[in-house]
Amino acid sequence: MDLPSSERKEMRGRMRQDLLCSLRWDVFAALETIEIAVGPVGKEEFIPFFGSPYANEPLGQLLPKRLEIHIGDLLSKRDFDYAPEEFRYKPPPPAILDNDEKSPVTVGQFVTRAHEHFNAHKEEIIKTKRRFWDDAIREDKGVDARFFYWRINAFGNDECGCGAISIDVVANVERIFNGFWERQLNRARGVEVQPTHSCIPPWSGPPGGQVTGPLPALYKP
């Protein structure tokens, strides 16, 4: 069941957009390469996401007890397929992530499950992006593109407590990638997060204000 736009916005707002938009997440690279931005505005540092306290943060508040994770570009591929229903493109089934009130799903668990889902359909995603979205990444250009997490869209819920979301990615050779990281961090800062008992403000850095070990170099778009 599709949600009204106001309810879609509300569901997205209950998720930790401040953390998700702070990620530098190459969806086809190894999980260990995912980083998260921490620190004050203008002095952000990217540190490994897994192994940081942010990976253990709850994904959100009052989320459905089950989440369906869809691949946004493959849903769009079906939307733009105007063939008769029996011949229309059929996206792969969603990945399922159960959310227990006593042990709510964490951001790290969500990223891990979504990452597995993207890699299971890597060839189809790349083929779709090249064909539909930007001449720069068409296969005949021979471009070695990288694909990064962009955003979440919430579009459905049902009476059984299952919520449907889709994840969009962006290629580093698409036109909209210009200024992408700055926009993502601005989106992260603009999200109002309801405090929880374990809420860690990402823009103040890790607990204690210090990061142990060497920091990776700042990303310079």
Alpha carbon distance 126, 156 (integer Å): 25
pTM here is 0.77
Task: Walk along the chain (221 residues) and give the pLDDT tens digit of each residue.
Answer: 444 444 444 555 578 888 999 999 999 999 999 999 998 888 889 999 999 999 999 998 877 888 899 999 999 888 878 888 888 889 999 999 987 767 888 999 999 999 999 999 999 998 888 776 656 555 555 457 899 999 998 776 655 567 889 999 998 888 888 889 989 998 888 744 443 433 333 433 333 333 333 333 333 33
At residue 159, the pLDDT reads: 53
| Burial 61-84, CB ≥16 within 10 A → b, else e | eebbebbbbbbbbbbbbeeeeeee
User: What is the crossing angle of helices 122-132 and 72-79, to 10°?
Assistant: 50
pLDDT of residue 29: 96
Residues 6+ apart with CB under 8 A from 217: none
pLDDT given at position 124:
93
pLDDT at 85: 86
Task: Give the pLDDT score at 136.
Answer: 58
| Amino acid symbol at 218 | L
